[in-house]
Amino acid sequence: MLIARIISLAGPALAGYVLLFSRCSTNPWTADGGTETGNAAVYGTIYEPDGKTPAAGARVLLIPTERQPTVPGLSKTLAAIPESTTTNDSGIYTVKSMPSGTYSILASGDGNVAFQDSIAVKADERTKVPADTLKAPGSIRGRVRLQPGDDARLVFILFMGTNAYCLPDDSMGAFTTPDLAEGTYRVRILSTIDQYGVLDTTLSVSAGKINMLGGDIVLPFKGIGVVTGLRVSYDTLREIVTLSWHTENQVAGFNVYRANVDSNTVANRINSTRVVDTLFHDSTVAQDFTYQYTVATTDAQGNEGNLGNGVTVKAVGPYVLVDSIGYAIFERPLDLVVRSDGRIFVTDDTVGLVILDNEGAYQRTLPCGSFPRVNLKRVFKMAQDESGNLYVTGDKDYLHLNQGVVLKLSSEDTLMSTFGDSGSADGLLGTPRQIAVHDTLVLVENADDRRIKVFSAATGRYLYSIGGAGQAPGQFVEIAGLAVSKTKRLFVAEETRIQMFELDGSIVGSFDISLGVPSDLRLDDEDRVLVLSMTENRLYGFTENGALSLRFQVSQREPHWLYVDQENTLYIGDLISRFCRKYSRR
């Protein structure tokens, strides 16, 4: 059981001035005719609160200024308190013989008190103490702050040169002193917890007031320390948890612990090396799980302090699954486009173009063999121009080269023209796959020679080509996707990089990527470069400078293609489940 919060050592006659006076039978000297063990003398005058009337019968006590109050529970105790004396009818008190030294002089009468500090008493001299006036007592309220988790009720607040002390009222360190006379006190604050040092400071009391401290009293800490102020934030776009904290102690570093709240896992350290900053990023969280983080300080030898308070965060992705489209409809879906009227078109390899309404309900199929004058066998990728015309890449033959074709369909789904299947060798398409449309240009990947061939959208006439086979800048190893931005730049994704071109074919730059096997590339409404990773089941977003700005874990295995509509809704398809999932932006 903890010691009583405020312990009075005063006799009944001094009940109005608790903790400032005490009687003890083991004094080394006494006043007014007691045993004389010193040869110094002290006298002074005490007045009533009006400052004029002598305070007759006031009790006066002289205590060595370096005396620490005797407190039960502390190992160190000092000499007992000397006997008090009383003022005469003129308010004068006298101590005839006492040891030389520096003393605190405390007086009380009729509930009022007075205090003087550091009165020097010299041997063989009679010292006159400046007159003092009794006033209403005051007190101090404040807080002693320890490291998180430590109980501040094990702290002692000692008023040196008096017999007053107090303990905090709660584990957080809030305290209120006993009634004290006006003045500035030398205060010693210590704890029975070994890891804390002693703090010597001063506190001032105003008469008749409760004096509130402006800030916490922080006891010096000799241990490793504890993290405080731990905060957490979650970047929804990049799927990154950021922790920040501070510590009031000098430490060598920190260890970060994480537990999955949903699966009740034990907290494990997630930093491989000592963290030396007060900032930590965690990019290994999984979407829709809740995590708790705690941080421990470490010294140079790797010893840890106590864990600080934990923080909790739920990892929520930038998109939310809202629908599944085409279940049990498609055989091998390869791409999707939302037409200007809201209908959904899907290229279904050897089947043809499958048309769904804006809710994803099946309407009809345009079979590969249904287009006049085109012996179409397969369909692959699509792009739509601003007029609502649809461009579709396909093959006219399974086995022979130079049998590729691009179909241009009107907004009413009728075949307007074809191109890439006749003309000069440069204008022929052997295996057309990825396609993009911008303004008057149609850009088509020809997988045979690793070129992007550019055609007139109006006439289908071949204009020029971009790239070629190779690893040098401006060349391609294997194209995973292409798209044109609002700023008229062409973005081309390969396995390890994304290259940027002007529409005339001149290269602008590139940035490296490491996403496993990328399977498609699109641009959202903010011209963010979105790259789908088939092996990591993730969608990544990059700025034009290559900075990662988005990560999203898709709920599909081996996602194969991606489409982004004007509202930044995602349509992601795969060849395993053979349907498409629709994700809306949070």
pLDDT in tens, 109-152: 999 999 999 999 999 999 999 999 999 999 999 999 988 788 99
The string of DSSP codes covering 297-346 is EE-TT--B------EEEE---SEEEEEEE-TTT-SS--EEEE-TTS-EEE
pLDDT tens for each residue of 35-90: 345 688 999 999 999 999 999 999 999 999 998 887 765 544 444 455 589 999 99
- The answer for residues whose C-beta is within 8 angstroms of residue 423's C-beta and 6 or more apart is 462
DSSP 3-state percent helix, strand, coil across the chain (nearest 5): 0, 45, 50
**Cα–Cα distances in angstroms (integers) from residue 77 to residues 57, 73, 161, in the given order:** 31, 10, 13
At residue 90, the pLDDT reads: 97
Q: Which residue has the tokens 């096997």?
A: 517
pLDDT at 18 over 60: no
Going by C-alpha positions, the residue among 140, 7, 146 that lies closest to residue 71 is 7
* Buried b / exposed e along 169-181 (16+ C-beta atoms within 10 A): beeebebebbbbb
| Sequence-ordered alpha helix ranges (H) in 52-129 | none
State residue 14's pLDDT score: 30
> Quick check: 109 and 17 in contact, CB under 8 A?
no
Check: CB of residue 18 under 8 Å from CB of residue 8.
yes
Q: Which residues contact 387 (CB under 8 A, 6 or more apart)?
A: 411
Tens of pLDDT, residues 479-525: 999 999 999 999 999 999 999 999 999 999 999 999 999 999 999 99
pLDDT at 75: 46
In this prediction, residue 250 carries a pLDDT of 80
State whether residue 12 is helix, strand or coil: helix
The DSSP code for 515 is -
CB neighbourhood size of 111 (10 A): 12
* Phi-psi category of residue 326: left, alpha or beta, with phi > 0 → left and psi -120 to 50 → alpha: left
444-448 long-range contacts (CB < 8 A, ≥24 apart) are 444/393, 444/406, 444/420, 445/479, 445/482, 446/404, 447/478, 447/479, 448/401
The two tokens of residue 558 are: 């081996």
Distance CA 123, CA 198 (A): 32
Q: Which residues pair with 445 in a beta bridge?
A: 452
Report the percent of the chain where pLDDT is more than 70.
Answer: 90
CA 449 – CA 339 distance, rounded (Å)? 31
Q: How many whole angstroms separate alpha carbon 299 and alpha carbon 201?
A: 29
Half-sphere exposure of 218 (CA within 13 A, CB side): 10
Q: Is 369 helix (H, G, I), strand (E, B) or coil?
A: helix
* pLDDT at residue 417, as a whole number: 95
Write the DSSP string, 415-428: EEEEESSSSSTTT-
Q: Which residue has the higher pLDDT, 308 or 401?
A: 308
Kindly state the average pLDDT of the residues 91-106. Answer: 93
Q: Which range, 2-16, 46-60, 553-567, is most confident?
A: 46-60
Whole-number pLDDT of residue 82: 56
Q: Give me the phi and psi of 147, to 5 degrees please.
A: -65, 150
Place of tokens 């983080």: 293
Q: Map out the domains of the chain with their CATH numbers.
A: 12-133 (2.60.40.10), 139-218 (2.60.40.1120), 228-316 (2.60.40.10)
Q: How confident is the model at residue 204 (pLDDT cuts 50, 70, 90)?
A: very high
Number of other CB atoms surrounding residue 281 within 10 Å: 11
The contacts of residue 303 (CB under 8 Å, 6+ apart) are 224
* Cα 332 to Cα 33, 346, 354, distances in angstroms: 114, 10, 11
Mean pLDDT for 251-267 is: 93
- On the 0-12 / 13-18 / 19+ scale of CB atoms within 10 A, 332 is middle
Mean pLDDT over the full length of the chain: 89
Here the tokens at position 405 are 């074709």
Whether 9 shows a pLDDT value over 80: the answer reads no
The pLDDT of residue 512: 95
Count CB neighbours of 186 within 10 A. Answer: 18
Q: What is the pTM of this model?
A: 0.63
Rg (CA), the chain: 43
Task: Please check whether residue 185 is in contact with residue 117, taking contact to mean a CB–CB distance below 8 angstroms.
Answer: yes
Q: What is the largest CA-CA distance in the chain?
A: 133
For the chain, what percent of residues have pLDDT higher than 90? 74
Residue 564 carries which side chain, given as an amino acid letter?
V
The DSSP 8-state label assigned to residue 586 in this structure reads -
Which residues lie across from 404 on neighbouring strands? Answer: 395
Is the Cβ–Cβ distance between 6 and 19 less than 8 Å? yes
Do the beta carbons of residue 539 and residue 548 sit within 8 Å?
no
How many Cβ atoms sit within 10 Å of the Cβ of residue 6?
17
d(CA 446, CA 413) in angstroms, rounded, equals: 25
Nearest-angstrom CA–CA distance, 468 and 447? 10
The span from the CA of 486 to the CA of 490, in Å, is 10
Query: Distance (Å, rounded) from C-alpha 484 to C-alpha 494?
Result: 15
